[in-house]
Structure 1
Amino acid sequence: MTDLTTKPATALEGSSAFAARHIGTDAEAQRRMLEAVGQPDVDTLLATAVPDTIQIEADAPTVLPAAATEAEALAELRALAARNTVRTSMIGLGYSGTLTPAVIRRNVLENPSWYTAYTPYQPEISQGRLEALLNFQTMVSDLTGLATANASMLDEATAVVEAMLLARRASKARTDRFVVDADTLPQTLAVLSGRAAAVGIELVLADLQGAGLPEGDCFGVLVQYPGASGRVWDPSAVIAAAHGRGAIAVAAADLLAATLLKAPGELGADVAAGTTQRFGVPMAMGGPHAGYLAVRAGLERQLPGRLVGVSVDADGAPAYRLSLQAREQHIRREKATSNICTAQVLLAVMASMYAVYHGPAGLRRIARDVHAAALSAAAELRRRGAEVRSEQFFDTILVGVQDADAALARAREHGVWLRRVDATTVGIAFDEVTAADAARFQPDLVAALGLEDAPEQDVDAPDGLPAGLARESEYLTHPVFNTFHSETAMMRYLKYLADLDYALDRGMIPLGSCTMKLNAATEMAAVTWPEFADLHPFAPADDVAGSLELIRQLEGWLSELTGYDAVSLQPNAGSQGELAGLLAIRAYHRANGGEGRTVCLIPSSAHGTNAASAVLAGMKVVVVACDELGNVDLADLHAKIAQHADDLAALMITYPSTHGVYEEQVRQVTDAVHAAGGQVYVDGANLNALLGHARFGDFGGDVSHLNLHKTFCIPHGGGGPGVGPVAAKQHLAAYLPGHPFAQDARVFDGPPVAAAPYGSPGILPISWAYVRMMGRDGLRAATDAAVLAANYVAARLADAYPVLYRGEDGLVAHECILDLRPLTAETGVTVDDVAKRLIDHGFHAPTMSFPVPGTLMVEPTESEDLAELDRFVAAMRAIRAEADRVGAGEWAADDNPLRNAPHTAQAVTADEWTHPYDRRTAAYPFETVLAHGGKGADRLRAVRGKYWPPVRRIDQAYGDRNLVCACPPVDAFA
């Protein structure tokens, strides 16, 4: 039996057992790593790497509590959860109670095979989640009646914003006017207003049903279908009128209603946008949820975000991959039309599987039950003498009352949340939860409206849905939506898809700039607790007191850790946090007479979303050069500042730099910008290299976004969810994102950037638990371990792959860039070849060709143990040896283990094998490595952990030339 030794205790174990479990390397492992790096201890390593001018005292006063044990943290979360009061939500406004099938909750939401996966940029090892996303796209496309849907958006409000921007690009009308239905969801209107103002779009609010399309040119029109009031009407005449003016028609549509009502595409809409939350995803006080965006034929190449398509692999077999990737922001930069670089993959998978599990008939039944419950309630309230003001509706009715506030208070006493429309009107919305027991809620509604003693009347009940809008077309006809309706079948389908993929539960994902670290089970525990999961985002403040306290505590901790005075947790992605920070800078300058300050300086090495966010904040991007070490070129910076002395708004800088080094002159950079009247935006993507050692706000940062899905352990979930809080100094705090429905009295005044007041509160307990259990010392130790791991990998691989950038001390930060360009020049082996060969070794590739083409950026994180780091080093050295054999002519340039990688089980077991290397070399390259010293845990993990990719290398160009973005027919796989 294999001898697996017990990991020795670490210095942290006495104060935080959790930190010792989170950090993969113990004291002995770190001693060995330090020897390889040439440093005597971790403190010296960090003191050498981090510039003296930005270091903070390790023992400075702190508001962070001492690290809690896992049991203590869970007990505190239970106490916070107990301060929330979950009532039956009838608020509506785009958020519905839903019944998550247990088979989906357990096998997707609570399954690390799904929630620890990364964005499917390596499609050969992402076929499972890509198939699930293709199901999502097909579901959305079918229900909207439009040709192509993308792989999800952040929420409904931001999806509608993207639809507006798409309409502006695609419209033939040369105008900045966008007409918006007055019955649009109010939170969508709020987000639209702020985003439109930043890019010079004029919003025209109009009663489209009552008055039709207003006079004048417009590039687009938005219809809410059904409306925020619940009203259902036929907008086809308005859509036709918009087309007559060269405008693009957008429908913000409810997909459950679309199972009974004509699809937006059938009414003539060019674009549909909305949310899939009510497809089995908890409300979670506002998120995370998967928004959607779909377009008619001809607009698919205008779609923002990610789009899954069908291509072929090296054997000609169908294979999935991300299509049209040239739209990604890191390529298009300031020419990008959207700053969205993520999606809500985990939630999109849940929504798609909800449709797979229920099928078209099941969805139609749920929709009919919801509508029937609303009809029944309307009839009962009319019989009691209430003024039901809704005639045609799907799930929401408006009722006249004498005092709306009193009615809401009585409803709360009966365990129900209603919506206040105005002083004499309440809204009542039904959903899957209330429809399941509709009769039970009618007495509560009667009591809430004060109708218990009202005499019953004979009334005529309307039909509710207009007969002319009844849906007659089919949807979800693909076999995937008509097969897996038993729990056994569904469980096996989810298991099958998960087994196709490589996620963090299989091994290390050493992606530079992406920080794929442990998402501990204790951190995840509270996500599915009903006290957090079943809250409506607009519930009364008293009923969400526990969540508000959790939010305040996390904001305070993040403020201290970053050196800022205020934090808004609203942005639901890092890109949205960037945008919010730049909008705050824009508002600050305008409030202080600086309307002309519109130039944003961005180093050439910066992540592409920086430039895209600046453009969407109404700024002009000016690129600043970097020197040969990867640092900001001070001479060029001063020249650009002088050139734009009167119109400089901001500098965006990533620290440590995107090149993975601590720039010594960062204070000189920030001081120069401040002296010219500009503001400094510090991108927080690399905060995992700083926690406990330096703070953005102390070395010149005015505002930053933070990636909670990187540094603070929210799982990537295959490409979302994420949270991107924005933190700022006091002079910018007032301009952080506010919200018309925020329950907290400490409301910021900036425009909202997300549909819900606090973005995605459903996953904030994860980061709360991480900080609470790590404590300040644990967070500092995590940074120590991450920086040591990166320097260890750099030291072990430097003779095989040059490390492109180092600091002045010869060290890197938490990631290192391996330069493969000399290898390619010598042998013809490309960065793609190395990335695909790593799959055969059982690894996800590092980040490819960013920020420098032809390189790999490696970030091992603090979570990985030394055995896994050594396994990666061995794999990379073995690949180098194979490349040298290609360069020496031993293997042909077009037929070798690297060019043919990855190798599937089918390929290596085929009857015919014509390659100049043997099958074992193809499939088990690590066996050769292990034969020269691998033993114990190394051998066990290599043998048991063999990952077989389901497809061979995928032809990327074929998929773009032959764009197919919905589920292919079954015979395509024959």
Structure 2
Amino acid sequence: MLMQSARPLGELENTTEFIARHIGIEEADEQHMLSAIGETSRRALIDSIVPRSIARKNPMKLPAAATEAAALAELRRIANRNQVFKSFIGQGYHGTYTPGVILRNVLENPAWYTAYTPYQAEISQGRMEALLNFQTMVCDLTGMPIANASMLDEATAAAEAMTLAKRSVKSKSNTFIVAGDCHPQTIEVVQTRAKPLGIEVVLANSAPEWDRALSGDYFAVLAQYPSTSGRIDDLRADVQKVHAKQAAFIVAADLLAMTLLVPPGEFGADIAVGTTQRFGMPMGAGGPHAAYMACRDELKRSLPGRLVGVSVDTHGNPAYRLALQTREQHIRREKATSNICTAQVLPAVIASMYAVYHGPQGLRRIAQRVASYTAILARGLEQLGYPPRPGGAFDTLSLHTGAETEAIAARARSKHANLRVYFEEYLCISLDETTTRDDIQLLWSLFAKPGHAMPDFAKFEKGIEPLIPAELRRTSDYLTHPVFNTHHSETGMLRYIRALSDKDLALDRSMIPLGSCTMKLNATSEMIPITWPEFAHVHPFAPQDQLQGYAELDEQLRAWLCEATGYAGISLQPNAGSQGEYAGLLAIKAFHESKGQGHRNICLIPSSAHGTNPASAQMVGMQVVVTACDANGNVDLADLQAKCEQHSANLSCVMITYPSTHGVFEMQVKELCALVHKHGGRVYVDGANMNALVGVAAPGEFGGDVSHLNLHKTFCIPHGGGGPGVGPVCVVEDLVPFLPGHNSGGLVGHKVGAVSAAPLGNAAVLPISWMYCRMMGAEGLKQATEVAILSANYISARLRDHYPTLYASANGHVAHECILDLRPMKEASGVTAEDVAKRLIDYGFHAPTLSFPVPGTLMVEPTESETLDELDRFIAAMIAIREEIRRVERGEWPQDDNPLKHAPHTAASLLKGEWPHAYPREVGAAVLDERRHAKYWPPVGRVDNVYGDRNLFCSCVPMSAYE
């Protein structure tokens, strides 16, 4: 037996072990990669790429890296500071049960949470079927003909509905009427959105005010159904009044209630919005939850967000794809109708699976149980001398408690329950799927006077009738499609979920080399805490002393992100990158207004910028002026200077992405910032490419005034098939007072207002980024950045002889991504960048970003998480495809009959009796020997996009529709 010398204890207590698990490149790999690039060390490579003028002088001040076990233990201590009370607050957030088969096999399954947005339809059929189920569920329950594939939250959905109505109706008014009995957070977000657009929001806080408002001039109205205080209003006559004014009627509807109530579509509503949170997604202190938007058919081409449609593939088989306005902000830019380019896909999938699992009868049973408990609660409260306010009820009762209000609320808290104080003299009580008989007894005990006889539950329950007005009870069917009436056993549901996930490519199968999208490891230890009850089951508007764990998490994560970015202050409220952009521009606008310079409204944006940039500028009422880029893709400083001088008096800001959208560190970024500041403008640095900056350079130090971050990119929150995300907005010192926030819930004085429904936005996924930072530490985060840059340069160097990199620095290097130029091949072979993208599917890869930012190119971003083996496998696939293109160029295969033009190849197409193509079947199969056992077979052939838009189906359709 060999004796080993003793090792120092410090080596055995390796606190940096997670860093090596997150970063896929080992030391020996690094030397091989540097040799291919032509550099001697990683330090030399970084110094040759990142301008020395912006390089960080001091390391980030972060806690030292912790092991996975230590970080989880520390986070558990923080989580334990939250108090999980029984919530009767309501206000759009409810207790719910996530069925175990969905919790384990969707929410906790990397096949679902590591998938990307379904822009490549052929490898996204599973999640798009789930989203089509979501759209069908929303259409059926609201009675509307078309719905999108989810929105960020109910409040922002209402704000988007307001702008959808504004551009769609004949009324020329700028007035938007909102019922005062809408959820308060919805009212706040609508007011924030309306102000920069010049829309006047009129709140109608009583029935007389509502009637007076509807007799006036307006372009749309918004009503809650049932209202936030529980009342169920008959809105049918109001809809007729509104339509007579050539205005739109928007209804914020509770989907569970819609199983029992006449849905908005049946009484003439134009738009319906709401949340699907109570369909199996925990409250999570506010998110993530999938909101919905549905509308009349005439509005479908203006509907914001994503829309999944049904088309056919090249073999004539049904296939799903994103339809119509998908990513329209990248095409229409400042003329876009919305800046939203994300959704809440993972929560939407969970909501749709909840409906599939329970089916129409199951949902109705849950709703009837909630409504029956509400009626029993009302009977007992009336017996105790607290009759609920009239107006019917589904799940929420409103009681006038006057001077006793706070005392009763305090008594509830002493028994670990939360009631909602409403307008100081009222208490609201909301029930949900998790309400029990013991809960009803507890609620009665809160109102019982000493010596007062308690109500008898058994006495009330016989023949109890819900408090829903007879004329508003639903009679129409819903969820009649077979998918909602088939998978009700756990075995059936398990197999359905597995069948859908098997159709998709996610990070659990292979590298996803999407440029600008940063598909990096979402470590299991980072994911574990999101389902802890202390994070998952707290209400966003619970008293602050019950949310101390979230407060500590928020404070620590903001401090760490400030260290990473060099900024003075951060808000975590924006729940998407697009919202972060929007909030940042609102802060700039509010700053100028505070200085008496509200006329500054010119936003300079380089032509290479992300499409969300000009769309966001338009949303805050700014005028976009495009500045030129030079031949290398850099901002043309001469043109920028000319535009700054031309618009000096009215210059508000410039929006740049750094490193640039073209994947290059521009050398003169400090000079650019100084130039804009000289003319009184502020500098917005888009944080989409922070994975190339953390620990290496900080936007807040080299001249940026505002940035948003994508925590679902750089800081490891999974993309979840296209959402959830978090888009914190970071600012310098003098902009801190203008960060977004609620003016309720203890947060006061915000000059910008709320941009999301919940104070902490998608709070439940913040532990993921906390864990990532805590386990990586300053050195680990810096190393991740450097290895991401190393990996991108390795791919660029290895593919140089096959696909030239379009943009690079003077020494030939790139940042964390490289744009491969495929345009020269088209003339010689007829092969397009899209053909290469589809052919990569045959080789088992998600395609890189296609034709953005330059048409006819592929933008590749490998991230630091990939191993050298996986990088080499991708490189081998790209080289093999290039050899196939050369065979077309040489005339060995026809331009219209080669493996690229017919990609991707399904197993069924390769097994057909006759093989009509000029290339062999085995070439079509594209099996790499070393991965033969792991071959991915796409479920459909190439999808026909044009057919899908011309024959638009956006809900579940029977197969007979294709016959």
Q: What interval of TM-score do these two structures reach, taking the shorter chain for normalisation?
A: over 0.9
Indicate conservation of the 8 Å contact 2:182/2:223, yes or no.
Answer: yes
- Distance across 1 between alignment mates of 2:450 and 2:183: 32
1:762 corresponds to which of 738, 753, 764: 764
| Partner residue, 2:604 | 601
| Partner residue, 2:418 | 417
Q: What does 1:690-839 correspond to in 2, within 5 Å?
A: 690-743=693-746, 748-839=750-841
Q: What does 1:93-104 correspond to in 2, within 5 Å?
A: 93-104=91-102
Displacement, 1:405?
2.0
Deviations 1:352-411 (A, max 9, x none): 000000000000010011111111111111111124224411110111223322221110
Indicate conservation of the 8 Å contact 1:407/1:450, yes or no.
Answer: no
2:128 corresponds to which of 127, 130, 135: 130
Displacement, 1:457?
9.2
Indicate conservation of the 8 Å contact 1:125/1:950, yes or no.
Answer: yes
Displacement, 1:629?
1.0
| Partner residue, 1:906 | 908
1:952 corresponds to which of 922, 926, 941: 941
Displacement, 1:302?
1.0
| Partner residue, 1:6 | none
Residue identity in the other structure for 2:18: F
| Partner residue, 2:658 | 655
| Partner residue, 1:166 | 164
Task: Give 5+ residue unaligned stretches, structure 2.
Answer: 1-10
Residue identity in the other structure for 1:200: G
- Distance across 2 between alignment mates of 1:775 and 1:276: 37
Indicate conservation of the 8 Å contact 1:821/1:855, yes or no.
Answer: yes
Q: What does 1:70-81 correspond to in 2, within 5 Å?
A: 70-81=68-79
2:493 corresponds to 1:490: yes
Residue identity in the other structure for 2:813: L
Displacement, 1:292?
0.2
- Distance across 2 between alignment mates of 1:503 and 1:784: 25
| Partner residue, 2:5 | none
- Distance across 1 between alignment mates of 2:276 and 2:70: 35
Indicate conservation of the 8 Å contact 2:371/2:466, yes or no.
Answer: no
Displacement, 1:237?
0.8
2:932 corresponds to which of 916, 939, 943: 943
Indicate conservation of the 8 Å contact 2:226/2:232, yes or no.
Answer: yes
- Distance across 2 between alignment mates of 1:682 and 1:412: 45
2:601 corresponds to 1:612: no
- Distance across 2 between alignment mates of 1:700 and 1:617: 23
2:862 corresponds to 1:860: yes
- Distance across 1 between alignment mates of 2:13 and 2:603: 46
Residue identity in the other structure for 2:87: S
Displacement, 1:811?
0.9
Farther-moved stretch of structure 1 (565-574 vs 908-917): 908-917
| Partner residue, 1:314 | 314
Displacement, 1:14?
4.8
- Distance across 1 between alignment mates of 2:625 and 2:119: 29
2:111 corresponds to which of 99, 110, 113: 113
Q: What does 1:264-303 correspond to in 2, within 5 Å?
A: 264-303=264-303
Partner of 1:298: helix, strand, or coil? helix
| Partner residue, 2:90 | 92
Judged with a 3 Å threshold, the aligned counterparts in structure 2 of structure 1 residues 13 and 952 are, in CA distance, closer, same or farther, namely farther
Displacement, 1:87?
0.9
Partner of 1:837: helix, strand, or coil? helix
Displacement, 1:742?
4.0
Displacement, 1:462?
8.4
Residue identity in the other structure for 1:555: R
Tell me how large the CA RMSD over aligned residues is. Answer: 1.7
2:188 corresponds to 1:190: yes
Indicate conservation of the 8 Å contact 1:714/1:767, yes or no.
Answer: yes
| Partner residue, 1:895 | 897
Residue identity in the other structure for 1:733: V
Indicate conservation of the 8 Å contact 1:114/1:503, yes or no.
Answer: yes
Displacement, 1:282?
0.3
Partner of 1:773: helix, strand, or coil? helix
- Distance across 1 between alignment mates of 2:308 and 2:441: 48
Partner of 2:249: helix, strand, or coil? strand
Residue identity in the other structure for 1:686: N
- Distance across 1 between alignment mates of 2:97 and 2:927: 47
Deviations 1:62-101 (A, max 9, x none): 4310000000000011101111110110000000100000
Farther-moved stretch of structure 1 (805-814 vs 765-774): 805-814
Residue identity in the other structure for 2:613: N
- Distance across 1 between alignment mates of 2:559 and 2:749: 15
Residue identity in the other structure for 2:109: N
Deviations 1:503-539 (A, max 9, x none): 0100000000000000000000001011100010001
Displacement, 1:595?
1.0
Deviations 1:476-512 (A, max 9, x none): 0000000000000000000000000000100000000
| Partner residue, 1:504 | 507
Deviations 1:778-809 (A, max 9, x none): 00000011000000000011111111101133
Farther-moved stretch of structure 1 (114-123 vs 381-390): 381-390
- Please give the TM-score of this superposition, normalised by the length of structure 1: 0.95
2:407 corresponds to 1:403: no
Q: What does 1:139-150 correspond to in 2, within 5 Å?
A: 139-150=137-148
- Please give the TM-score of this superposition, normalised by the length of structure 2: 0.96
| Partner residue, 1:580 | 583
Judged with a 3 Å threshold, the aligned counterparts in structure 2 of structure 1 residues 540 and 747 are, in CA distance, closer, same or farther, namely farther
Partner of 1:205: helix, strand, or coil? strand
Residue identity in the other structure for 2:602: V
| Partner residue, 1:5 | none
Displacement, 1:195?
0.5
Judged with a 3 Å threshold, the aligned counterparts in structure 2 of structure 1 residues 970 and 952 are, in CA distance, closer, same or farther, namely same
| Partner residue, 1:963 | 952
Residue identity in the other structure for 2:110: P
Residue identity in the other structure for 1:888: R
| Partner residue, 1:227 | 227
Q: What does 1:310-389 correspond to in 2, within 5 Å?
A: 310-325=310-325, 328-389=328-389
Indicate conservation of the 8 Å contact 1:410/1:447, yes or no.
Answer: no
Partner of 2:858: helix, strand, or coil? strand
2:667 corresponds to 1:664: yes
Displacement, 1:207?
4.8
Indicate conservation of the 8 Å contact 1:736/1:748, yes or no.
Answer: yes
2:80 corresponds to 1:82: yes
Indicate conservation of the 8 Å contact 1:603/1:624, yes or no.
Answer: yes
Equivalent pairs: percent with the same residue?
59
Deviations 1:161-180 (A, max 9, x none): 11111000110111111111
Indicate conservation of the 8 Å contact 1:414/1:448, yes or no.
Answer: no
- Distance across 2 between alignment mates of 1:666 and 1:785: 23
Partner of 2:427: helix, strand, or coil? strand
| Partner residue, 1:441 | 439
Farther-moved stretch of structure 1 (745-754 vs 31-40): 745-754
Indicate conservation of the 8 Å contact 2:306/2:326, yes or no.
Answer: no
- Distance across 1 between alignment mates of 2:665 and 2:70: 36
Displacement, 1:823?
1.1
| Partner residue, 2:643 | 640
- Distance across 2 between alignment mates of 1:581 and 1:742: 22
- Distance across 2 between alignment mates of 1:790 and 1:257: 51
Indicate conservation of the 8 Å contact 1:272/1:294, yes or no.
Answer: yes
| Partner residue, 1:431 | 432
Indicate conservation of the 8 Å contact 1:311/1:319, yes or no.
Answer: yes
Residue identity in the other structure for 2:837: A
Partner of 1:54: helix, strand, or coil? coil
Displacement, 1:824?
1.1
2:851 corresponds to 1:849: yes
Deviations 1:708-743 (A, max 9, x none): 000000000000000000010111111111113445
Partner of 1:311: helix, strand, or coil? strand
Indicate conservation of the 8 Å contact 2:584/2:708, yes or no.
Answer: yes
Residue identity in the other structure for 1:963: L
Task: Give 5+ residue unaligned stretches, structure 1.
Answer: 1-10, 928-938
| Partner residue, 1:254 | 254
- Distance across 1 between alignment mates of 2:781 and 2:13: 14
